[in-house]
Chain A
């Protein structure tokens, strides 16, 4: 069965850097997109961006462009989401998900990781 396994919860201070991971298995990492979704405490889902590991093409939501970096390592079938300087407002659960192309364009997420809780507090 398709699996996306995310790294564990993190507690960081404002200004810290962070890189969380999403290890995938049971499907061809190079033939699908991997996206990231933020869910702030008690709030809805926010689409952050997506990467195609086959050629590292990456698209960011305008809301997250310049705030985070999405990358992938084909050799270990793992995608990453990173911050260079965290803020308290980055406190959230972050999900990775497999993206499949939709009929009318764009992607939908058909498999999801379990989520990584990131807490940023001084």
Chain B
């Protein structure tokens, strides 16, 4: 099955930029979606189709996807952005794997 690789953790100071990567073979040919999950809460979609944002998601959240790596970028990080972030794609065998998740810590 298709494997998505995320770093277990990313740390960033408030006001700085956080970049969370999602690696997969030829992931640039797939649509990548990103979810934010805070402790005790259901996931929330923050980016879909590589770079689109649902209504209500701040412009500080952006996405890119090329080659073997997709990236979620969070600009001007705030304390409220501290959460787990998961990437997700659709694979040709009709599976929809999630990455293992990245814990974003705001220092």
Question: Chain A interface (Cβ within 8 Å of chain B)?
Answer: 35, 37, 44-47, 50, 59, 61-63, 95, 97, 100, 102-110, 112-115
Contact = CB atoms under 8 A, between A and B. Distances in A.
A44 B98 contact: yes
18 contacts: A35-B96, A37-B98, A44-B84, A44-B86, A44-B98, A44-B100, A45-B43, A45-B88, A47-B98, A95-B42, A102-B49, A103-B49, A104-B90, A106-B90, A109-B88, A112-B43, A112-B44, A114-B42
Contact-residue bracket for chain B? 20 to 34
B54 interface: yes
A45 B86 contact: yes
Label chain B's interface by main secondary structure.
Answer: loop
Contacts of B54: 110
A107 B95 contact: no
B45 interface: yes
Given A45-B98, A110-B54, A102 B48 contact: yes
**Chain A interface mostly:** strand
Given A45-B101, A103-B31, A113 B94 contact: no
Given A95-B43, A106-B90, A108-B88, A47 B49 contact: no
Which of B44, B48, B54: most chain A Cβ within 10 A?
A: B48
B31 A104 contact: yes
A107 B44 contact: no
Nearest to A105: B90
Interface string B41-57: 01111001100001000
Contacts of A44: 84, 86, 98-101
Contacts of B29: 104
